[in-house]
Structure formats: structure tokens, C-alpha cells
């Protein structure tokens, strides 16, 4: 039985299945015959629990690791009449990502993409035995000097996107594409952006059945049910 819930476990599990299937709260309310506020309540609880779970993962990423940054936000800003830049220098919110090939992805909302900012995260999340792949951004300069002996780059500015069959950052770029397409379904996320980013981190490359099993286990671990 779910704690402090007026709904039975059966009904909450149905809401959970809709959430895992990535059905919007409006659609789930219609499908399940429930009030939209009730669905929103549970969806919010699921996201908060997933966020806590993802943040609690302490294991360092190892092996072949890709790093990259991306930018999120509206294409236009009210009151700003210039053309918004894409990528670095934009007014959008930067997010840094680390992808362990054949493993998980880690994301962090950052104030900027400067060298000190990015490398502090890398040093905290990536094992020094790892092989790191990045693009040519100067924020990744000096990784060898801080212990990462194997650092390979692809230079997108020179139209280089893959080399030698292994030197690329296609995995983390695929995650950014997945995340932006998913968030577009919600017409962008104006509040609780950090919850949605972590949710995408958790969802990536998993089917509905896997997500359902994982979410149930996470809810039990965090004593939500």
C-alpha cells in the first residue's frame, strides 16, 4: 500500500504504468478517469523519487567515457530582439553530460562550461583509469595533466565526427537528441527542469517494462510504498 494515499495500490500502479509509458498527465487523466491534479501529484512524486535515486548513485563511471555539454531553453526570449546563438555563448541553460559506453549517463546543470566547472565534475564522477572522448572545446584542455592519461578528441569545427571507429561522442549526443525531443512533447519545461533532466537520464534506452520494474524498486527503496 502506498503511504498516505487515498488510492489503492492497483490504481497507483496504473498511474505508474502511464508514467513509465511516458503518457502525459492530461492523457493519463483521461485514460484512467482521474482528476488531472491527482495524476500531477503522483507524477511529481515519481520524478522527485527518481531524482533522489539518480543523485544517490555514487559509483564512478569507468571504461570508455564520452563527455559533452548541451543547451536547453526557448528559441526566443521575450524582450530580446536579437538572434539567439546556438551552443556556447547562448542565453540558454547549459547542461553537462557524461556517458559511460554500455553503461549509464550522468547529467548536471552547470552555471557555465568553463574548464574549471567541467573538469571538477569529471574528476568527481569519472575514474582516472577511463578513456575519455570529447569534442575540441577548450574546457577539456589539460585532462591529461590531472591524471586522465587517455583523452581523445573529435574536432567538429573541422567536420570531424568520428575517427578510427572508436573516437566519437555519438552516444552522449544521442542522449541530448532523445532528451530534447522528449521535453519538446511537454512544450518545454519551465519549472522543475532539474527533475526532468534526471528523469531523462533514468529513462534513456530502457523499455516500458524495465522502467516499471525499476520505478517500483526505487519507490520501495525510498519507502514511498
Residue 120 lies in a domain: yes
Q: Which pLDDT value is given to residue 160?
A: 60
- How many domains are contained in the chain? 2
Residues 72 and 49 in one domain: no
Query: Edge-to-edge strands of the sheet including 105-109?
Result: 105-109, 93-100, 64-72, 131-135, 150-154
110/105 Cα distance (integer angstroms): 16
Residues 151 and 216 in one domain: no
Residue 122 lies in a domain: yes
pLDDT in tens, the chain (225 residues): 456 567 888 889 999 999 999 999 999 999 999 999 999 999 999 999 999 999 999 889 999 999 999 999 855 444 444 444 445 556 789 999 999 998 999 999 999 999 999 999 999 999 999 999 999 999 999 999 999 999 999 887 656 666 777 899 999 999 999 999 999 887 766 688 999 999 999 999 999 999 999 999 999 988 777
Residues 178 and 77 in one domain: yes
Q: Which pLDDT value is given to residue 74?
A: 58
Residue 24 lies in a domain: yes
What is the domain range of residue 84?
64-184
Residues 73 and 30 in one domain: no
Residues 87 and 139 in one domain: yes
Please name every residue paired with 151 in a beta bridge, in sequence order, or none if there are none.
Answer: 132
Residue 194 lies in a domain: no
Q: Which string of b and e fits 80-98 if b means at least 16 CB within 10 Å?
A: eeeeeeeeeeeebebbbbb
66/12 Cα distance (integer angstroms): 37
180/193 Cα distance (integer angstroms): 12
Residue 25 lies in a domain: yes
The SS3 call for residue 40 is: helix
Entry pTM? 0.87
**CATH at residue 174:** 3.30.420.10
Cell of 107: 547529467
Residues 74 and 173 in one domain: yes
Amino acid at each position: 500500500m502506498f503511504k498516505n494515499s487515498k488510492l489503492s495500490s492497483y490504481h497507483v500502479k496504473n498511474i505508474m504504468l502511464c508514467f513509465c509509458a511516458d503518457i502525459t498527465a492530461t492523457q493519463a487523466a483521461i485514460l484512467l478517469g482521474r482528476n488531472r491534479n491527482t495524476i500531477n501529484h503522483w507524477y511529481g512524486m515519481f520524478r522527485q523519487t527518481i531524482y533522489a535515486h539518480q543523485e544517490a548513485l555514487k559509483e564512478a563511471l569507468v571504461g570508455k567515457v564520452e563527455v559533452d555539454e548541451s543547451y536547453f531553453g526557448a528559441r526566443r526570449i521575450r524582450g530580446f530582439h536579437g538572434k539567439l546563438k546556438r551552443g556556447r555563448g547562448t542565453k540558454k541553460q547549459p547542461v553537462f553530460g557524461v556517458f559511460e559506453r554500455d553503461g549509464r549517463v550522468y547529467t548536471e546543470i552547470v552555471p557555465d562550461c568553463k574548464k574549471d566547472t567541467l573538469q571538477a565534475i569529471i574528476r568527481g564522477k569519472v575514474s582516472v583509469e577511463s578513456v575519455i572522448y570529447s569534442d575540441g572545446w577548450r574546457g577539456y584542455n589539460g585532462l591529461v595533466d590531472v591524471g586522465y592519461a587517455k583523452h581523445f578528441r573529435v574536432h567538429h569545427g573541422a567536420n570531424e565526427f568520428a575517427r578510427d571507429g572508436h573516437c566519437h561522442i555519438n552516444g552522449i549526443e544521442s542522449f541530448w537528441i532523445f532528451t530534447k525531443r522528449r521535453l519538446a512533447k511537454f512544450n518545454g519545461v519551465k519549472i522543475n527542469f532539474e527533475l526532468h533532466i534526471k528523469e531523462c537520464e533514468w529513462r534513456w534506452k530502457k523499455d516500458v517494462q524495465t522502467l516499471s520494474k525499476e520505478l517500483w524498486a526505487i519507490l520501495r527503496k525510498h519507502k514511498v510504498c
